[in-house]
Amino acid sequence: MKSRNINSKHFERTPEGYVGYTSKLPRPSLWYGNPKIEGELWLQDFETNKMSHWKIASDEEIDGVRRWVFEPTAKTLKKHPEVEGLTITVIFDMVQDTKFARKKRAM
């Protein structure tokens, strides 16, 4: 399984948390679009170097564009209370359409 670690410098910071677009995020192989196998990630904060664990909370489609919203786990909230109320939103503005990507989405 691929390491699901990503640095916060690749996301845009908003008052609600972080927003990332798949066309701009590194390692596109992390974002095939299967929430069962890609439903969690570790975020390393660029400024503090702290790692936090996030799990997918919702998978929605708005105007034909898929969005995943991640929330911090309970263990992360205990360890890093500063992330309470924040979310990570991944917007699938670019979806890979290769044979392997279709196979991953079908799993």
* Interval 53-107: pLDDT, tens: 999 999 999 898 989 999 999 999 999 999 999 999 999 887 766 675 666 666 6
> What's the pLDDT score for residue 34?
80
> What's the pLDDT score for residue 38?
84
Nearest to 67 by CA among 19, 4, 28, 100: 19
In this model, does residue 1 exceed pLDDT 70? no
| C-alpha distance from residue 79 to each of 29, 40, 69, 82 (Å) | 29, 18, 21, 9
pTM for the full model? 0.86
Provide the 3-class DSSP secondary structure of residue 101.
helix
Q: Where in the chain are the domains?
A: 5-106
